[in-house]
Structure 1
Amino acid sequence: MTKEVLIHLKGMQTTDDPHGSDEPLELITVGEYYYRNNTHYLLYEEQMEGLDEPIHNLVKIRPGHMEVRKKGPVQTNMVFETEKQNMACYQTPYGPIQMDITTTGVNLGEEEELLEIKTEYVLGMNGQKVADCQMHIRVTPKGSKETTFFRA
C-alpha cells in the first residue's frame, strides 16, 4: 500500500426511536497510511460543519482492535476492542459527552492494495444504550481505479 491513500468512511447508527433517522454518514478523503509493529495507521483531516478548524484524525488498527484519536476543535480517544466495553470522553466546542463503547466486532481485511475494517459496537451514555453502530473504513491507494465503495 502506498503512503498516500484514499480513505472511505461509512458510519451507521440505528436507534430504537421510530422517528429517528438511520441514514449513513459517509466521508471520502485523502490521507496517509503507515504500517509499523503489526499495526496499520491512518492519518487524515475532516472538516465538520460549523467549525472553522479541521479535526486531525489518527486511526490505529490491528486484528480485533481499533483506536480513533481526534484532535482539534473536537477531541477524543475511542478504543474499540472485540467483546470489551471502553469509556470515552468526546470533547466538543459545546461541552464534553461521556460515552461507553461496547464493541461486538472489529474485522480487518487486508489485500495488497486494499485495507477494509468493519467495526460493530453499541454506543451508550449514562449507562443507557443509545444506538447500535457500524463503522466501515476502506483504504485504497490514491489514484486507484477501484470504484466499489464496500463489497457485499
Structure 2
Amino acid sequence: MMTKEVVVTISGLQLSDGDQDTIETVHVGEYHEKDGVHYVFFDEILEGHDQPVRNMIKLGERSVAVRKRGPVSSELSFEEGSTSESAYNMPFGAFVVSVHTSSVRLNVEEEKIESKASYRLSINGEHCSDCDIQVTVQAKETFKLC
C-alpha cells in the first residue's frame, strides 16, 4: 500500500518540427486512492511568485486529469481516444489548450505508480507538438534519485 507522503516525477517529451525537447520535474506531495482512482497533490513555486501553484493529478486506468490553481490555473484532461480543450490562465495572459490523446497507460505496483500518455498539443487552435508525458508516484521513503 502506497504511503500518503510521495515523490512525484513528471517527465515530458515534445516533438515539434524535428526538434525534441525533454523536461523533468520532481515534487514532494500527498497521495490518496479512492475507488481505484489515484490522486496526487503537490505545490509548485513559480519564479517571481510568492503564491504556490496547487496541483492535483488524477490517474485512472485510461485517463489522466491535471488541475492547477494559483498564479497558473487550468484543467487538462487526457482520455484515450478523445480531444479536450481548456483555458490555460497564466499571470501574463490566457490561451486555449487542446489535447488529442492517443493512448494512456497505468501501471500500479506496491510502492510505485506510473502513468504514460501520448497526445497532440494545440494552442489557440494551432498544432504545436506531439507529446509524451509520464507521471511517476513513489513512496517518499523508497524514492531514489538516479
State if a TM-score over 0.5 links the two structures. yes
Question: Contact between 2:96 and 2:125, CA under 8 Å: does it hold in 1?
Answer: no
Return the match for 2:76 from 61, 75, 78: 78
Task: State whether structure 2 residue 128 is matched by structure 1 residue 143.
Answer: no
Q: What CA RMSD, in Å, does the superposition of the two structures yield over aligned residues? A: 1.4
Return the match for 1:38 from 23, 36, 39: 36
Deviation at 1:146, TM superposition (A): 4.4
Question: Contact between 2:8 and 2:27, CA under 8 Å: does it hold in 1?
Answer: yes
Question: Contact between 2:67 and 2:73, CA under 8 Å: does it hold in 1?
Answer: yes
Paired residue for 1:10?
A: 11
Distance 1:145 1:99, change over 3 A: closer
Stretches of 4+ moved more than 4 A in 1? Answer: 145-148
- Provide the identity percentage: 34
Question: Contact between 2:46 and 2:53, CA under 8 Å: does it hold in 1?
Answer: yes
Distance 1:54 1:70, change over 3 A: same
Q: C-alpha deviations, 1:18-61, integer Å up to 9, x for none?
A: 5x5x3311111110000002210000011122333211000111
Higher fraction of strand: 2
2:142 aligned counterpart, secondary structure: coil
Where in structure 2 are the equivalents of 1:1-150 lying within 5 Å?
1-16=2-17, 22-144=20-142, 146-147=144-145
Separation (CA, whole Å) in 2 of partners of 1:88 and 1:110 = 28
Please, which runs of 5 or more residues in structure 1 have no aligned partner?
A: none
Separation (CA, whole Å) in 2 of partners of 1:88 and 1:66 = 14
Structure 1 length-normalised TM: 0.89
Please, which runs of 5 or more residues in structure 2 have no aligned partner?
A: none
Separation (CA, whole Å) in 1 of partners of 2:107 and 2:29 = 19
1:143 aligned counterpart, secondary structure: helix
Q: Which amino acid aligns with 2:118?
A: E
Separation (CA, whole Å) in 2 of partners of 1:30 and 1:145 = 10
Q: Which amino acid aligns with 2:52?
A: P
